[in-house]
């Protein structure tokens, strides 16, 4: 079972929201001492995820203030616990969404810790010692080594940060459906944002014909010329939708805004799968006829387990895949969150945590 960790005795500087205004301000707090199974990480970069925006504003009604967001953490190990294996001081490492799980259920045993009923997140969770977890908008992080991954040496550390959430979120469905190892399929990606643009990169690296499905005609040039997509469908164009009927083996839906599933499902071949990783605020309308007349499946999932996350990182190293980012200093976190709410970013903000001298 999980260890009981020491009392919190390490003072850490970071940035937190204290109420539902969502305003981020400098915040000094305590982390636990490095335990026998822990590594201490000097954080260099932390990505900003849309989940951070929901939490700082308490839009899901679950925020425990003060909240220190951030679950796309990249840094260097500065201390290693006595029972830690596979990590050493100086290693380039990453921490994603997971801080703890029970380590004893069928899902943990199967390296699917992300589906453990006792899963706790890197921030706004409750760690094994009963403390509230604080995330990566900070200078130091202490993590149980079983929830840490190595970062390949050839990947830029800032652009690798979003892989810890956005990357694994889209990699896991592709892996689950045999699309990492077997090329030659026709796959669709709904939405060209933080998740979608990485999904396009994966799809092309794995040898598939990739179609981007978007509400924004202005994104077609970027999808094709910059990211290498083969086709582009404007989801509000009836002629394009009709022409694409029964043309795709697999569709990954990354959109978090409310949208209709019917036209998307009609693009699937018989036996095709629609995999949902976006989380709209309102329930989907799931039409029955496209399912039963096309023998289609609709699935969903979150991130991946730790073994799969490490595999994803190694695949990214092999194909030199990183996120397209806009690097910001900590004094611009609030500006970045405001822009993120307007989808004004190509495609992920990353905080340069070390750039704190003027903050």
Query: pLDDT of 41-51, one tens digit each?
Result: 999 999 999 99
What pLDDT, on the 0 to 100 scale, is given for residue 4? 47
What pLDDT, on the 0 to 100 scale, is given for residue 356? 64
Element (H, E) at 326: strand 325-328
What pLDDT, on the 0 to 100 scale, is given for residue 28? 97
Rounded CA separation 104/3 (Å): 13
Which pair of structure tokens corresponds to residue 216?
Answer: 């924004």
Answer whether 99's CB lies under 8 Å from 121's CB. yes
CATH code 3.90.180.10 for 8-164+324-352: yes
- Tell me: the pLDDT tens digits for 127-142? 999 999 999 999 999 9
> Closest Cα partner for 73 from 149, 185, 126?
149
- pLDDT averaged over the chain? 94
What pLDDT, on the 0 to 100 scale, is given for residue 257? 86
Report cis status (omega within 30 of 0) of the bond before 347. yes
The CATH class that applies to domain 166-300 reads alpha beta
What pLDDT, on the 0 to 100 scale, is given for residue 1? 43
Instruction: Report domain extents, the chain.
Output: 8-164+324-352, 166-300
What pLDDT, on the 0 to 100 scale, is given for residue 358? 44
Answer whether 80's CB lies under 8 Å from 90's CB. no
Bridge pairing between strands 38-48 and 348-352? antiparallel
What pLDDT, on the 0 to 100 scale, is given for residue 8? 55
What pTM did the predictor assign? 0.94
How many Cβ atoms from other residues are within 10 Å of residue 12's Cβ?
18
Backbone torsion region of residue 192, taken as left when φ is above 0, otherwise alpha when ψ lies between -120 and 50, otherwise beta: beta
User: Which regions in the chain score pLDDT beneath 50?
Assistant: 1-6, 357-359
> Closest Cα partner for 70 from 11, 144, 17, 129?
17
């Amino acid at each position: 079972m999980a260890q009981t960790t020491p009392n919190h005795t390490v003072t850490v500087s970071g940035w937190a929201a204290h109420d539902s205004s969502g305003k981020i301000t400098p915040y000094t707090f305590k982390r636990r001492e490095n335990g026998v199974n822990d590594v201490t990480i000097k954080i260099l970069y932390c990505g900003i995820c849309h989940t951070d925006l929901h939490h700082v504003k308490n839009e899901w009604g679950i925020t425990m203030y003060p909240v220190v967001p951030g679950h796309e953490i990249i840094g260097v190990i500065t201390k290693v616990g006595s029972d830690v294996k596979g990590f050493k001081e100086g290693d380039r490492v990453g921490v994603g969404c997971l801080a703890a799980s029970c380590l004893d259920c069928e899902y943990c045993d199967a390296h699917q810790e992300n589906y453990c009923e006792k899963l706790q997140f890197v921030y706004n969770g409750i760690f094994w010692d009963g403390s509230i977890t604080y995330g990566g908008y900070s200078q130091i992080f202490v993590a149980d080594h079983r929830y840490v991954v190595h970062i390949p040496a050839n990947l830029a550390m800032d652009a690798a940060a979003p892989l810890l959430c956005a990357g694994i979120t889209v990699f896991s469905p592709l892996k689950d459906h045999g699309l990492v190892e077997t090329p030659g399929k026709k796959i669709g990606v709904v939405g060209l944002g933080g998740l979608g643009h990485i999904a396009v990169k994966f799809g092309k690296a794995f040898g598939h014909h990739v179609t981007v499905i978007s509400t924004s005609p202005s994104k077609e040039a970027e999808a094709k010329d910059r990211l290498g997509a083969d086709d582009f469908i404007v989801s509000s164009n009836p002629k394009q939708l009709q022409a694409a009927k029964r043309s795709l083996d697999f569709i990954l839906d990354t959109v978090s805004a409310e949208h209709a599933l019917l036209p998307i499902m009609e693009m699937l071949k018989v036996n095709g799968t629609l995999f949902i990783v976006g989380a709209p605020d309102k329930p989907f309308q799931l039409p029955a006829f496209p399912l039963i007349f096309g023998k289609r499946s609709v699935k969903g999932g979150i991130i991946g387990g730790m073994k799969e996350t490490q595999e994803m990182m190694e695949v990214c190293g092999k194909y030199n895949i990183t996120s397209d980012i806009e690097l910001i200093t900590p004094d611009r976190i609030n500006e970045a969150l405001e822009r993120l709410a307007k989808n004004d970013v190509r495609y992920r903000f990353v905080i340069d945590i070390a750039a704190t001298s003027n903050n």
